[in-house]
Structure 1
Amino acid sequence: MKFEEKLEDKGRLAGRSQLHLGEMHQANGKPIANGKTDTYEKQAANGKSNLLRKSLNTYTWQEIQRHNQETDQWLVINRKVYNVTDWAKRHPGGHRVLNHYAGEDATDAFRAMHLELDVVKLYLKPLLIGELAPGEPNQERNKNSQLVEDFQELRRTLEASDMFSANLCFFFLHLAQILILEVLAWLILCHFGSGWTVTLFISFLLTVSQAQSSFLQHDIGHLSIFKKSKWNHLMHKFVMCHLKGLSANWWNYRHFQHHVKPNIYPKDPDIDMGPLFLLGDSQPVKYGKKKIKYIDYEKQHLYFYLVGLPLLMPVYFNLQSMQVMYLRRYWVDIAWVSSFYIRYFITFGPFYGIFGTVLLIYLVKFLESPWIAYVTQMSHIPMKMSKEENRDWLSTQVLATCNIEQSFFNDWFTGHLNFQIEHHLFPTMPRHNYHKVAPLVRSLCAKHGLQYVNKPMLKAFGDIVSGTQWTKHYPE
């Protein structure tokens, strides 16, 4: 039976289950013989709902959209209006994520980015200030309500089909792969010594380990592999900080912004790489007005090979991670990252000494950098970049992302980031389910006239530097 047919069957079963539950109300484990109690409870619930509704203020979209500043942030989730101005500073995902949706409907973004909805809703209650006026649509008037409804229905179908449950064995096998590579590199060094040939080979093993650690921490940062969030939190620290030597908090705050507003300048930090690189139409105008011109930007798509590829991991990400940890006092992350360097000095120090071990660390990061740069940029750099246009969730993600053709190697080499469209639409979905939902997403895009881009990997690599998003002309 095909996956789509299974979904239809489950949908019909869910519908029958709901009817059955509606007909039978249980008290103390026994079915009620008549509907009087059921009717009374419904009336009581409706009374409470009406009382709550009367106590809430009602707002129009025009009123809500005025509250879109950092010092005055309102947003809408499921027709309820929330004032998140003061809460933004305490938001676990960072204050900027909330600011990016100020004055907008954030229903789909909220559902996409949060795992434990019951817990999150407790934090929302004190922030509730009202609801949309009865005559107002669920989303802003510029959005296609049918498209939004169809996407939300797709999500409900996938949730009913258990597509958001992680396979624990799948992720532990990937962790085992990483640890085996690390141990194998050390054993080879112990047996054969620290000659140039051996050093290059163990550098290759460690590079593969580092790249796969990047993909694994990305999974753990998004979804809950363990039922208890504290274990998921610790595992993310272990993989990102201890195995990679980068701050988990820094990654979270940066990456979540990218997810909620991909390729939207200046809200997506992944495309804000000035003054070294300028992308799209907005950034060169910004630097042009300030009369800032450090480099010949008409050649930046070419020097990307010389600068962007080799220096992304060892220089840009490393320095930014250290800077953020220090300035924001992420002491736990600092301790975990320190354990990464301590482990390397203990493991490889006896063979290479302190200076040689530092060189080994940066050699591995230097070799890993082009791999990660290609994988992370191939799905976004060639796609549409724009200022804020307040599009619906589906359009925002599909226009800014593209997929890479599936194969066993492509899945492994990219950590399943070749399914970038599905990942962006459903960030908390485990990657082993992307290929199952891809046909449904493609069908939905076709229905609403959205281009679902899927290309070979080598073409995607080439499109990084041949795309139209690189600024070729700099305004004087």
Structure 2
Amino acid sequence: SQLVEDFQELRRTLETLNMFNANLGFFFLHLAQVLILEALAWVIVWHFGSGWLITIFISFLLTVAQAQGLFLQHDTGHLCIFKKPKWNRLMQKFVMSHLKGISAKWWNNRHFQHHVKPNIYSKDPDIDVGPFFVIGDLQPVKYGKNKIKFINYEKQHLYFHVSLAPFLIPVYFNLDSILAMYRRRDWEDIAWVSTFYIRHFITFGPFYGIFGTMVLIYLVKLLESLLVTYITQMSHIPMKMSTEENQDWFSSQVLTTCNVEQSFFNDWFTGHLNFQIEHHLFPTMPRHNYHKVAPLVKSLCAKHGLPYVNKPILKAFGDVIRALKKSGALWKEAYCMHPET
């Protein structure tokens, strides 16, 4: 089709303009940011002690470090930084497994499925949240007709704040990652992840003890989860969800993804995932180039009558809750319209 040809031409143009070449200094500054925040948290405890106020303060420092580390390992997982894949893989193991304590291989397996089939039920693990939540327009109706009521889905937009948002990373990500490593008997991965906990016991153990250090680790993961869940879901949950469809790459990515307005803060705060459309269209492109290609992508969308959705960040956060509330209402309507037989 003409759209496919235009998209291929756009990609060739971007390759000619070196939009797929990384600025190594940009990424090493982001790595330095993570390492400095981690070190600063330890220095503060070492100097001021481990009282409640200090612990709360360093928890926020470590939360920022963990979130920024997640964005950085995301870059390496997509092979965005180095020309040689093995260097990207090594850096990802260091950031994801050593600095964050999660299996890099587990993340890649899950994340690549999401990129291939975004917002496709049963294919995209990022929207595989049943039976705890129902999302989109199709799943809630199916659950309602079949009288599935694991929770009162009509109130799921309220449960979200005390379930999925805070516990996605400390519970699901961590447990599923650990189980995946042991099922595969992947001793290299296990060793990398173990260094995360060993490092924390060495640095924070003398101040908090083993139990207190574990509490600190999971407090930080909980805070990170609250932050990251909104950042990752604001671009997908409010968008179109469907069963398998035969669509071209460009349409399948644009229709299931939206952007958040650019600003220096938004770029940093979201790890440039505010340019989710560009990221999904060009997953191996370094994120510092997204803003340069965005006008070209927007123009191509306009030419072919496709929506290019770009929102203020607070509206994007609110749309996550509004989408959950809408899906809950669809479930309630279907549930009440189909009495049990």
Equivalent in the alignment of 1:327 = 183
Match of 1:365 among 210, 221, 228: 221
| d(CA) in 2 for partners of 1:281, 1:409 | 33
**Normalized against structure 1, the TM-score is what?**
0.68
The superposition leaves residues 144-168 of structure 1 with CA deviations (integer Å, 9 ceiling, x where unpaired) of x000000000000001110001111
Which structure has the larger Rg? 1
Q: Does 1:347 align with 2:232?
A: no
**Which residue identity does 2:29 align to in structure 1?**
L
* Partner in structure 1 of residue 338 of structure 2: none
2:6: which partner in 1?
150
Query: Structure 2: how far apart are the matches of 1:445 and 1:224?
Result: 25
What is the aligned length?
332
In the alignment, which of 434, 448, 470 is matched to residue 304 of structure 2? 448
Q: What SS does structure 2 have at the residue aligned with 1:462?
A: helix
Tell me the equivalent position of 2:106. Answer: 250
Q: Which residue of 1 aligns with 2:320?
A: 464
- Taking a change above 3 Å as real, the CA distance of residues 290 and 334 of structure 1, as seen in their structure-2 partners, is farther
Q: How does 1:113-152 map to 2 (within 5 A)?
A: 145-152=1-8
Provide the identity percentage. 76
Deviation string 1:70-99 (CA, Å, 9 cap, x unpaired) is: xxxxxxxxxxxxxxxxxxxxxxxxxxxxxx
- 1:25 aligned partner: none
Please name the residue that 2:339 is paired with.
none
TM-aligned CA deviation for residue 285 of structure 1:
5.3
- The one-letter amino acid paired with 1:151 is F
- 1:170 is the counterpart of 2:26: yes
Whole-angstrom distance in 1 between the partners of 2:80 and 2:293 = 19
Superposition deviation, residue 370 in structure 1 = 1.1
Code of the aligned partner of 1:269: P
Amino acid paired to 2:329:
K
- Equivalent position to 1:408, from 239, 261, 264: 264
Which residue in the other structure is 2:68 paired with?
212
Larger mean CA deviation between 363-372 and 281-290 belongs to: 281-290
Q: What is the distance in 1 between the residues matched to 2:242 and 2:80?
A: 32
Structure with the bigger percentage of helix: 2
- What CA distance in whole angstroms lies between the structure 1 residues aligned with 2:120 and 2:182? 28
Moved over 6 A (4+): none
Name the CA distance, whole Å, in 2 between partners of 1:247 and 1:472. 37
Matching of residue 318 in structure 1 with residue 174 in structure 2: yes
CA distance in 1, matches of 2:101, 2:144: 37
> Is residue 2:25 matched to residue 1:159?
no
- Rounded to whole Å, the distance in 2 between the matches of 1:466 and 1:282 is 16
Cα shift at 1:254 = 0.7
- Report the CA distance between 1:300 and its aligned residue: 1.0
Larger relative contact order (C-alpha < 8 A, sep ≥ 6)?
A: 2
How far off is 1:388 after superposition? 1.3
Q: CA deviation at 1:224?
A: 4.1
Q: CA deviation at 1:226?
A: 2.1
* Separation of aligned partners in 1, 2:258 and 2:283: 15
Distance 1:210 1:313 in 2: 11
Unpaired runs of 5+ residues, structure 2, are 336-341
Q: Is the 8 A contact 2:140 2:327 kept in 1?
A: no
| Pick aligned residue for 1:203 from 59, 69, 76 | 59
Give the conservation status (yes or no) of the 8 Å contact 2:79–2:85: no
Aligned to 1:227: 83
Return the offset for 1:330: 2.4
Which secondary structure state, in structure 2, belongs to the residue aligned with residue 171 of structure 1? helix
For residues 417-448 of structure 1, what are the alpha-carbon distances to aligned partners after superposition, in whole Å with 9 as ceiling and x for unaligned?
00000000000000000000000000000000
Aligned: 1:395 with 2:265? no
Aligned to 1:238: 94
Gaps of 5+ in 1: 1-144
- The residue identity in structure 2 corresponding to 1:158 is L
Check if 1:338 corresponds to 2:181. no
Paired with 2:263 and 2:301, the residues of 1 have a C-alpha distance of 22
AA paired with 1:332? E
Alignment partners' CA distance in 2, 1:349 and 1:410: 35
Distance 1:166 1:275 in 2: 41
Aligned-residue offset at 1:411:
0.3
Question: Over aligned residues, Cα RMSD in angstroms?
Answer: 1.4
Deviation of 1:291 (Å):
4.9
Q: Is the 8 A contact 1:313 1:369 kept in 2?
A: yes
- In 2, the alpha carbon distance for the partners of 1:272 and 1:241 equals 24
Q: Which residue of 1 aligns with 2:152?
A: 296
The answer to whether the Cα contact below 8 Å between 1:207 and 1:364 also exists between their aligned partners in 2 is yes
Amino acid at match of 2:50: S
After TM superposition, give the deviation of residue 229 of structure 1 in Å.
2.2
Secondary structure at 1:400 match in 2: coil
Offset of residue 288 of structure 1? 5.3
The TM-score normalised by the length of structure 2 is 0.94
CA distance in 2, matches of 1:279, 1:472: 11
Q: Partner amino acid for 1:448? A: H
Secondary structure of the 2:327 match is coil
